[in-house]
Amino acid sequence: KAGVTQTPRYLIKTRGQQVTLSCSPISGHRSVSWYQQTPGQGLQFLFEYFSETQRNKGNFPGRFSGRQFSNSRSEMNVSTLELGDSALYLCASSPLQGTNTEAFFGQGTRLTVV
């Protein structure tokens, strides 16, 4: 089974621009969550999608948004980029069926804002 695929792996953007990151979950997994990882703040939850619906949202400004498609693939968007948005953005997929709640992460997208 293929793992979680995130594209692109690396991005360099300028302050004020917007960016869209993509995540393809493991086949059959319906839940996708996004996390931001920085040296100072560690791993912070952004949002969670299940069956195309946002179920949970972390404490991030409205510039951060996401969506999930009918095939469970997800995208997250960051508008009006700030220098502090530079981070590794990780996507995790989970089956969320019965007691199986294991979450598997992709390799992440390294975003650098200059």
Partner 1 sequence: QQQVKQSPQSLIVQKGGISIINCAYENTAFDYFPWYQQFPGKGPALLIAIRPDVSEKKEGRFTISFNKSAKQFSLHIMDSQPGDSATYFCAAKPTSGSRLTFGEGTQLTVNP
| Cα dihedral across residues 82, 4, 70, 22: positive or negative | positive
> Does 42 sit near partner 1 (CB under 8 A)?
yes
Site string for partner 1, 53-82 (x = CB under 8 A): --xx-x------------------------
Output the smallest distance, CB 67 to partner 1, in A: 17
Output the smallest distance, CB 12 to partner 1, in A: 16
Q: Using an 8 Å Cβ cutoff, are 76 and 87 in contact?
A: no
The one among 18, 77, 101, 112 contacting partner 1 by CB under 8 A:
101
Q: Using an 8 Å Cβ cutoff, are 18 and 111 in contact?
A: no
DSSP state of 15: T
* Part of the chain binding partner 1 (CB under 8 A), chosen from 14-22, 65-73, 78-86, 89-97: 89-97
DSSP for 37-97 reads EETTTEEEEEEEEETTEEEEE-S--TTEEEEE-TTS-EEEEE-S--GGG-EEEEEEEE--B
Q: Which residues bind partner 1 (CB under 8 A)?
A: 4, 6, 31, 33, 35, 42-43, 45, 48, 50, 55-56, 58, 90, 92, 94, 96, 101-108
